[in-house]
């Protein structure tokens, strides 16, 4: 589905330009912190619908979802969509505290404006209708050691089926993803890089021009987390001159009995290396995969300037030499 042009009559005057700091309309005495506000907003998104929750309910394992979405899931599953583990029961408890937090958050003008910019919707078609302009272009890079599941994460994000055996990526592969955030139509180019040690220099060149990097490790192999330090330093060096988002992603959380790195250790790693966020996922069960990409793409578009209009081609009716 292509993005529609906004109706001028329905334009909300409080829909501020996210490139300009929303602090200009932040009436509180608090200091505006983009990352803190974005992280707070992320906690309101349902892992199943990828949108802000209006009627949040919690399952017996403590995770929260939009009521209609989790009821639909539980009609066909006995497991948690977040962990893949069997739930003790299908009882749902209204999360009144979260609902109140959402209402209070949106009551603030600046936060409400930012929330509108962070609204996300994937486009079902892989091409835009003629005449629809791409507002923002985003480059996202997936890096990490070999065997951590980078290609599998991208496959699942694109709606594909997880495969236990995948061929190693050599060099760089890429995929394009169309989506909207707020009123902006966005095109993301997502690069899947090789984890082979002898191709690190190839990966390093990809940092230039990248807006967001997902550093992926395997939670069942601590060494893969430690190996990311080299990738992170290279990224910071190459991306120092432009705004960027650096996210740590722990994959294979479905293998909980073999886990070597817990969430606390990974969070400490984020602080030590100056990253912006930590996410835990499972390419095998699909847990948190789409939400992780959704947040990364929405955040990056929020902080990205509008793309300049693309020049239109002249209509030609013959070879270039004759026009």
User: What per-residue confidence (pLDDT) applies to 196?
Assistant: 58
Burial 287-299 (b: 16+ CB within 10 A, else e): bbbbbbbbbbbbb
Nearest to 1 by CA among 131, 177, 179, 134: 179
- What are the DSSP E strand ranges found in 108-261? 120-122, 136-143, 172-181, 184-193, 212-218, 245-251
Work out the pLDDT band at 201, boundaries 50, 70, 90. low
Give, as one character, the DSSP assignment of residue 252: -
Residue 165 CA to chain centroid, in angstroms?
25
Contacts of 9 (CB under 8 A, 6+ apart): none
Residue 89 CA to chain centroid, in angstroms?
30
58-98 confidence digits (pLDDT tens):
999 999 999 999 999 999 999 898 887 899 999 999 999 99
204-247 confidence digits (pLDDT tens):
667 888 899 999 999 999 999 999 999 999 899 888 877 788 99
Total-model pTM: 0.77
292, β-bridge pairs: none
More confident residue, 195 or 159: 159
Report the 10 Å Cβ neighbour count for 186: 24
**Least-confidence region, from 39-43, 160-164, 236-240:** 160-164
Domains and CATH numbers, the chain: 22-117 (3.30.40.10), 129-302 (3.40.50.300)
* C-alpha span between 23 and 1 (Å, rounded): 34
User: What per-residue confidence (pLDDT) applies to 317?
Assistant: 47
Overall average pLDDT of the 300-311 stretch:
71
User: What per-residue confidence (pLDDT) applies to 125?
Assistant: 55
Helix (H) or strand (E) holding 89, with range, is none
């Amino acid at each position: 589905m292509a993005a529609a042009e906004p109706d001028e009559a329905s334009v909300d005057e409080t829909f501020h330009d996210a490139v300009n700091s929303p602090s200009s309309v932040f009436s509180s005495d608090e200091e505006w912190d983009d990352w803190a506000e974005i992280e707070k907003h992320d906690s309101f998104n349902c892992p199943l619908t990828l949108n802000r929750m209006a009627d949040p309910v919690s399952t017996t394992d403590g995770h929260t979802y939009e009521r209609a979405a989790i009821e639909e899931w539980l009609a066909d599953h006995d497991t948690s969509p977040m962990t893949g583990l069997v739930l003790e029961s299908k009882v749902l408890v209204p999360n009144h505290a979260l609902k109140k937090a959402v209402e209070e958050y949106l009551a603030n003008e600046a936060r409400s404006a930012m929330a509108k910019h962070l609204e996300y919707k994937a486009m079902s078609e892989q091409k835009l209708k003629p005449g629809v302009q791409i507002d923002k272009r985003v480059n996202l890079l997936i890096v990490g050691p070999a065997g951590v599941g980078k290609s599998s994460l991208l496959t699942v994000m694109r709606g594909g089926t997880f495969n236990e055996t995948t061929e190693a990526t050599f060099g760089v592969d890429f995929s394009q993803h169309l989506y909207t955030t707020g009123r902006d139509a966005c095109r993301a180019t997502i690069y899947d890089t090789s984890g082979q040690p002898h191709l690190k220099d190839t990966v390093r060149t990809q940092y230039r021009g990248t807006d967001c990097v997902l550093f992926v490790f395997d939670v069942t192999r601590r060494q893969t987390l430690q190996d990311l330090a080299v990738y992170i330093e290279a990224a910071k060096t190459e991306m120092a001159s432009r705004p960027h988002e650096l996210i740590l992603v722990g994959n294979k959380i479905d293998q909980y009995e073999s886990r070597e790195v817990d969430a606390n250790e990974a969070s400490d790693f984020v602080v030590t290396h100056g990253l912006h966020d930590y996410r835990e996922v499972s390419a095998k069960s699909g847990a948190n995969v789409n939400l992780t990409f959704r947040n990364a793409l929405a955040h990056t578009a929020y902080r990205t300037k509008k793309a300049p209009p693309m020049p239109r081609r002249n209509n030609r009716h013959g070879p270039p030499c004759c026009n």
